C-alpha cells in the first residue's frame, strides 16, 4: 500500500501516531495529510523522471544506435522494447524492499507506465497517477 493510501486510510498504528508532531490525538491531522500528499507527488515525479523520462529514453537512444542493422523500423521497435523492459526491471528492483511480490508488481506497473509514457510523452500526468497509486 502506498504512502498516500496509508495516510488517508489511517494505517500506521497508534504508536506512530503519538510520536508524530503532525498527528493530533491519534488521528491524521490536515497538515499530515498535506505533507503525505506532497511527499507522494514528489516521489512520483522523481521516479517518473528517472525511470521513464531519462532511463527509458536514454537506453532507447543508445540501443537504437546499436541495433539499427539496416532496418530502422525493426531496430527502433526492438530497442524501444529492450529499453522499456530494462527500465521496468530496474524499477522493480528498486521496490524489492516490498518483497518479491512488490518487486514483481512494480516491474509490471513500470512497464505499463513506460507504454503509457511512449504513447503521450506526458510524464507529469504519469507522476500524479503514480503518486495517487503508490
Q: Which three cell numbers stand for residue 62?
A: 543508445
In a domain, 123, yes or no: yes
Tally of domains within the chain: 1
Q: Which residues form the domain of 107?
A: 41-133
In a domain, 111, yes or no: yes
In a domain, 21, yes or no: no
Segment-wise mean pLDDT, segments of 10 residues, the chain, 134 residues: 47 46 63 86 81 83 66 67 90 93 93 86 79 72
Amino acid at each position: 500500500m502506498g504512502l498516500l493510501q496509508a495516510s488517508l486510510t489511517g494505517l500506521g498504528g497508534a504508536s506512530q501516531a503519538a510520536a508524530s508532531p503532525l498527528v493530533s490525538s491519534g488521528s491524521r491531522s490536515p497538515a499530515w495529510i498535506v505533507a503525505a500528499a506532497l511527499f507522494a507527488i514528489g516521489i512520483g515525479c522523481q521516479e517518473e523522471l528517472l525511470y521513464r523520462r531519462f532511463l527509458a529514453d536514454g537506453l532507447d537512444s543508445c540501443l537504437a544506435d546499436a541495433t539499427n542493422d539496416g532496418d530502422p523500423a525493426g531496430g527502433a521497435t526492438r530497442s524501444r522494447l529492450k529499453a522499456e523492459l530494462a527500465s521496468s526491471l530496474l524499477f522493480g528492483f528498486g521496490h524489492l524492499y516490498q518483497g518479491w511480490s512488490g518487486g514483481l508488481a512494480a516491474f509490471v506497473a513500470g512497464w505499463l507506465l513506460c507504454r503509457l509514457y511512449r504513447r503521450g510523452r506526458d510524464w507529469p500526468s504519469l507522476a500524479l497517477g503514480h503518486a495517487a497509486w503508490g
